[in-house]
Amino acid sequence: MNMKTCGIITEYNPFHQGHIYHIKKTKELTQCNCLIAIVSNHFTQRGLPSLLSMEDKTKLALEAGCNLVIELPACYAAQSADYFAKYAIESLHALNIDQICFGSETNNIVLLREYAKQMESTKVDPSLSMNRNLYSKDIQPNDILGIQYIKQCDKYNILPQSISRKDTFKSATQTRKEYFEGIAQFKDAYFNPNQTWDTYYPYLRKFLILTDTNILSTYFLVNEGIEYRLKENAKKYLKWEEFLLASISKTYTKARIQRTCMFILLQITKAQMQENNRFNQVIVAGFDSIGQAFLKDKQVVTKFKELPKFLQEIELKCQYLSFDTFQARKVIYYDR
């Protein structure tokens, strides 16, 4: 079916009013017939456990106006901005989308594309953040992602568009903070309060203490001897926050430590990620009648058994961390 399509790359950790605004303004700007959201599943880009299940994220996205929701698995979601963008755009490209639309602090595609060009000619110091490597000025988080989205879109002839990010909407970070302080939040009936590193840390800690550093070094993102620091800190600290703060360094930011710990917790190796370094699949989480029509004759995954063995294993591990028993994959149909 020939439709004008637009993709949005999202986390929904948790879903808030700014996300509804993003969906509404994207549809107004692009005039797309089919809006497709690719959503991080169990873990998000900064390596945080997701407060919402994929099923609930899908329901909320469809209710807000998306026509199709697809998944970005944890191993592809919990990545630095460049790889996060790469994997998300690869999956959207598999659907041959026309354009994407993202929130941006500058809301200036020309400027962000210029930054992307600067990136290509900049010698990277791996001990510095992307901001300090590339720019003399401070670049905000959504623009950092936007630069990477543009780079990936240009590879596939996808049109990048942006909307202005509104500070009037509470951020996901602030929403999480207030929720755990006991302050009621938008749609917080969907939140799972056990989805935190505080919950997971006892399992991670035990694994770090009992596992030889030679084994730890085989896991993805475990580089430059960080396994020794993590192991020693696991022995010293009983609480996640203390462990996290002690593990941060010039090279390893808070987000990098969280991502690294996720790959250790899920026991995902460097070899596995090297072997699965492309994500050109479409894992369907839900759709309405428009999304269903768009998917006709397209190669997509709708059942657990259709996932590659690598992603099946990760799905099982994530689910057992989140729930007492395995939850069968269910594609949601939203009847408007």
Question: Per the structure block, which two tokens stand in for 30?
Answer: 């692009």
What percentage of the chain carries pLDDT values higher than 90? Answer: 85
1 contacts: CB under 8 Å, gap ≥ 6:
293, 294, 296
Residue span(s) of the chain under CATH 3.40.50.620 come to 5-173+277-333
Per DSSP (E only), the strands in the chain are 5-10, 34-40, 68-72, 99-104, 159-164, 284-287, 332-333
What percentage of the chain carries pLDDT values higher than 70? Answer: 93
- Give binding residues as ranges: 9-22, 103, 142, 165
Tens of pLDDT along 14-25?
999 999 999 999
| Measured torsion, CA atoms of residues 169, 8, 46, 253, in degrees rounded to the nearest 10 | -90
- State the Cα–Cα distance between residues 41 and 72, nearest whole angstrom: 6
Task: Measure the N-to-C terminal CA separation of the chain; round to a whole number of Å.
Answer: 20
H or E element in which residue 236 lies:
helix 226-236
- Give binding residues for ATP as ranges: 9-22, 103, 142, 165
Least confident range of 44-48, 155-159, 223-227, 318-322? 318-322
Query: Residue 313: what pLDDT?
Result: 96
Q: Which amino acid is at 266?
A: L
Tens of pLDDT along 268-323?
999 999 999 999 999 999 999 999 999 999 999 999 999 999 999 999 999 888 76
Cβ-based neighbour number of residue 288 at 10 Å? 21
326 contacts: CB under 8 Å, gap ≥ 6:
316, 319, 320
- Whether the per-residue pLDDT at 89 is higher than 80: the answer is yes
- Nearest Cα neighbor of 52 from 78, 102, 16 is 16
H or E element in which residue 315 lies:
helix 309-322
CATH number of 5-173+277-333: 3.40.50.620
- The pTM (predicted TM-score) of the whole model is 0.94
Banded pLDDT at 137 (limits 50, 70, 90): low
Contact assessment for residue 2 and residue 34, using Cβ atoms and an 8 Å cutoff: no
